[in-house]
Amino acid sequence: MNLGIDLGTSNSAVVGVDDSGLRLFKTDDGKDVLASVIYFDRRGHMTIGTRAQAQAELSPDNVAQGFKRLMGTSSTIDLEGADKSLTPEEASSEIIRQLLRQVESETGTGEFAGAIITIPAAFDQMQSEATIRAAHAAGLSKVGLLQEPVAAAMAALEGATRRDGRFLIYDLGGGTFDLALVEASGGAVNVIAHEGIK
């Protein structure tokens, strides 16, 4: 099975593709997306997702969120209440691990042929490499990256009668807003220009 992962600033999701088609893997609480939030209690036990998000107001010093913005930097996420420190890569790796657990829970297997992870069009080389390292640390050996507006354009053009042309793609995420001007020609999609607000 090949995986597609949207590793988002606020929420993340995972789909799988095999002979039976495309399938979205839900969280333990039945949601389509996983909140990209990590919580550590005082004993060091980690929780990811909606339950971690619920702790953001109660125990903000124990919660890591929004760390995608720090990918590719030497910044750390210091969780003073839990006496823990994570790099953005480590935090992203934990989110990917949780997404992989969702797939394994539903399919009974942790064997994956490969994965494509979407990244913002504005990600530079260091941010892209950090995303790949996070995926490798989570246990994925074959990983490719795809810019988010390219993925959106490919999905939008899948059923369209007119496939060639220039398109403005916007991504109004939970933590960011990105615009990209893409050109589709002969099945290939290229980003001409992009801009975003973080």
Name the one residue in this structure whose structure tokens are 């893997």.
25
Contacts with 1 (C-beta within 8 Å, 6 or more apart), sequence order:
16, 17, 18, 103, 107, 109, 111, 112, 113
Cα distances (angstroms) measured from residue 162 to each of 58, 157, 167, 170: 50, 8, 11, 19
pLDDT tens-digit map of 13-71: 999 998 888 999 999 999 999 999 999 998 889 999 999 999 999 999 999 999 999 99
Mean pLDDT value of segment 157-180: 80
pLDDT at 182: 86
pLDDT at 122: 84
pTM score > 0.85 for this model? yes
Counting runs of H as helices and runs of E as strands, what totals does the chain give? 4, 14
* pLDDT over 70 at 141, yes or no: yes
How long a stretch of residues is the chain?
198
pLDDT at 5: 98
Q: How confident is the model at residue 198 (pLDDT cuts 50, 70, 90)?
A: low
20 near 133, Cβ under 8 Å?
no
